[in-house]
Amino acid sequence: MGAENWNKVIKFLKTSNAKPQKVLNMLKTVYSKRTVPESDFEMVRNSWAYIVVGSLANKYGTKNKEKKIPFTQVIRNWVNSKDYQNAWCIFHLKKGKKKINELSWEQSSHDDFKKIPTERHVKQLNDIWVSKIGKKIRSTLTPAGKFPISDHSKKFDKILYGE
C-alpha cells in the first residue's frame, strides 16, 4: 500500500471522532495473530452466521414451506417470528454489559431488538446469506437443509454397545 493510501486513511481518521487508542486496539484485533483462545462471547457471536443460514435454509417462520415465495419474504417471515427475536437477543449480547439480574438482561436485549427496523434485520440477514462465509456454510448443508452429523456418534455407539 503506497503512502498516498495511508494519507487517505490518516485524513479520514483526523476528520472522524475516532480515538487513536481505540483505532489501534481495533487494528490489533483484526490484524494480529491470535495468542489466546476465543472467549465464550466471541464463540457465541461467531455462531450467528450458522444460525442464520440454517434457519433460512429451512424457512423457519414460513407456514407453507413447499410454496414458492421470494427469498426476502422467507427472511421477513423469520424476522417476524418470536423464534428470531429470541435468537437475536441471545446472540447479540453486549460485551461486558453488567446486568443486575436475568430479567433486566432479557428486557435490555429485547429493547435493543425493537430499536432496529424490520427492513434492517432483513437486509443484514440477506447480507449474511450472500456473504462468503454464508456461501461456505450453505455448501456444507445436506440437500434437506440440515447440518451434517459426523460419524463420531456411530463410532461412540460401537465403543459403548459393541455394535
Domain ranges of the chain: 1-35, 40-161
pLDDT digits (tens, 9 = 90+) for 107-152: 567 788 889 999 999 999 999 999 999 999 999 988 888 888 766 5
> How many angstroms separate the CA atoms of 140 and 11, rounded?
43
Q: What is the pLDDT of residue 100?
A: 44
Kindly report each contact of residues 94-100 with a partner whose C-beta sits within 8 Å and lies 24 or more positions away, as own/partner.
Answer: 95/41
Q: What is the pLDDT of residue 128?
A: 96
Among the listed residues 142, 125, 133, 138, the one whose alpha carbon sits nearest the alpha carbon of residue 61:
125
Q: What percent of the chain has pLDDT over 90?
A: 37
Q: What is the pLDDT of residue 157?
A: 57
Q: What is the pLDDT of residue 76?
A: 96
Residues 6+ apart with CB under 8 A from 157: 163
pLDDT digits (tens, 9 = 90+) for 81-92: 999 998 998 888
Residue 33 grid coordinates? 495473530
CA distances from 43 to 14, 35, 72, 121, 158 (A): 34, 15, 28, 21, 31
Q: What is the pLDDT of residue 101?
A: 46
Residue 135 grid coordinates? 456461501
Rg (CA), the chain: 21
Pick the more confident residue, 145 or 72: 72
122-140 burial: b if 16+ Cβ within 10 Å, else e: beebbebbeeeebeebeee
Residue 83 grid coordinates? 423464534
CA distances from 13 to 1, 23, 88, 99 (A): 17, 9, 32, 34
Pick the more confident residue, 122 or 15: 122
Instruction: Report the pLDDT averaged over residues 24-29.
Output: 85
Mean pLDDT estimate for the chain: 82
Q: What is the pTM of this model?
A: 0.65
